[in-house]
Amino acid sequence: MDFDARPVELHGHRVFYRRTGTGPPVVLIHGMLNSSRHWEAVARRLGDAHTVIAPDLIGHGDSATPRGDYSLGAHASGARDVANALGHERVTVVGHSLGGGIAMQFAYQFPERLERMVLVSSGGLGREVSILLRAATLPGAEYVLPVLAGKPVRGLTSTGLKALGRLGIRPNADGIGIGEGFGSLGDVEARRAFLHTARSIIEPSGQRVSAADRLYLASWLPTLILWGERDRMIPVKHAYDAHAAMPDSRLEIFETAGHFPFNEDPERFARVVTDFVATTEAPPFDADRLRRQLTRPDEP
């Protein structure tokens, strides 16, 4: 199935997305330093039963890298706009890492546009996060990144991966995902967009944005939480905590996976998400219910 990048003009900026399959619409939102390309293995499988839409967030992949707002709210609005431009009024949103935080922000800003939510190794559910991402928020990171993302380092990474392949050793999904992510920072505008995004949600001591105090607002929404047991970027403890805060949610742990469970085992990932969509009913948005939740959060 075709999964090529296509452009759409939104608010004067060129945004790229990939689309495949037919059926109920599912929007895949990638993580920081990644792009729609990272969904390819699972998107082709999900496309057997769904219309799969995977945008490149502003500042990522092939999309524009303007000076502007790189907050979770801006990214959520961008995902909404791509879905709307393609004619989808309500969607199931699947968000990985940063994309998980965007998915939760989507649910908060546009609950009437959401049918289901899938959080994959999601940010925004606790303070802990890899030192690699925390380091990007330190003063002076803008001077270190050009070195890390420069051609010599990128060349060494590429050579190392090829050497492992010749030895019959397959690098795991985390190594590939992180390596490709830093490889995308060769462009000064991409580095600037990355730093704006990272510093809007992370500080040197950990994640600075949390959805924990608002998870109760998503209690009406069918939610699936997917995580790798061996995640070193965002600990699996966040998955269990989020599941406890949303007792009606489903929890699926990939025992041998790290931060990229959808690339570690795309077959299982697609099967779990397809079953989740097929066995849950998208509830209608109820403004009165939301009003009651906001004003009387302790009531059932």
pLDDT, tens digit, for every residue of 80-131?
999 999 999 999 999 999 999 999 999 999 999 999 999 999 999 999 999 9
Active-site residue 259, yes or no? yes
pLDDT of residue 78: 97
Q: Catalytic residue, from 121, 231, 238, 249: name it.
A: 231
CA–CA dist 167, 92 (Å, integer): 41
Among the ranges given (58-72, 97-111, 144-158, 253-267), the one the predictor scored with the smallest mean pLDDT = 144-158
pLDDT of residue 255: 96
Q: Are strands 5-10 and 206-207 parallel, antiparallel or unpaired?
A: unpaired
Q: Catalytic residue, from 36, 56, 259, 265: name it.
A: 259
For residue 155, pLDDT over 70 is answered with no
pLDDT of residue 202: 95
Write down the pTM of the prediction.
0.90
In CATH, 5-128+210-294 is 3.40.50.1820:
yes
pLDDT, tens digit, for every residue of 43-92?
999 999 999 999 999 999 999 999 889 999 999 999 999 999 999 999 99
Contact 185, 33 (CB under 8 A): yes
Q: Catalytic residue, from 97, 121, 184, 249: name it.
A: 97
CA–CA dist 90, 173 (Å, integer): 31
Domain boundaries, the chain: 5-128+210-294
Active-site residue 275, yes or no? no
pLDDT higher at 177 or 80: 80
Active-site residue 97, yes or no? yes
pLDDT of residue 57: 97
Q: Residues 178, 181, 186, 192: what is their CA dihedral angle, to the nearest 10 degrees?
A: -110
Among the ranges given (30-39, 40-49, 130-139), the one the predictor scored with the smallest mean pLDDT = 130-139
